[in-house]
């Protein structure tokens, strides 16, 4: 496992926010890690297939913010592995 991203802005916990505010909360909050071993994070991400691991995905705002950074670094593919996905309730 490689920790390719780091949080550069201290944001409020997503659980405290309504869904509409979550995207703004994490916008620009992540950047490439400074280094992964002896290689830069950027060089390891370029052309790689990357998996983001998140315990719970609700709105997808955090995952999308992370994926955006990875795509900007030329990741070949970005996928998400999550334990739980919170769905929207449906009206009868």
Domain span at residue 40 reads 5-9+20-85
Per-residue pLDDT band for 86 (boundaries 50, 70, 90) equals confident
Report the distance separating Cα 1 and Cα 47, nearest Å. Answer: 17
In a domain, 70, yes or no: yes
Say if CB 44 and CB 17 are below 8 A apart: no
In a domain, 91, yes or no: no
Number of domains in the chain: 1
Residue 90, pLDDT > 60, answer: no
* Other CB atoms within 10 Å distance of the CB of residue 55: 8
In a domain, 15, yes or no: no
In a domain, 90, yes or no: no
Render pLDDT for 4-21 as a digit per residue (tens, 0 to 9). 899 999 999 998 999 889
**78 in helix, strand or coil?**
strand
Report the distance separating Cα 25 and Cα 41, nearest Å. Answer: 24
In a domain, 14, yes or no: no
pTM of the model: 0.83
């Amino acid at each position: 496992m490689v920790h390719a991203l780091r949080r550069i802005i201290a944001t409020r916990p997503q659980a405290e926010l309504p869904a509409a505010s979550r995207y703004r909360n994490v916008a620009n909050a992540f950047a490439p890690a400074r280094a992964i071993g002896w290689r830069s994070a950027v060089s390891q991400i370029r052309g790689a297939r990357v998996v983001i691991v998140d315990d719970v995905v609700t709105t997808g705002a955090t995952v999308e913010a992370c994926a955006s950074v990875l795509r900007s670094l030329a990741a070949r593919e970005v996928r998400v592995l999550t334990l739980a996905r919170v769905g929207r309730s449906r009206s009868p």
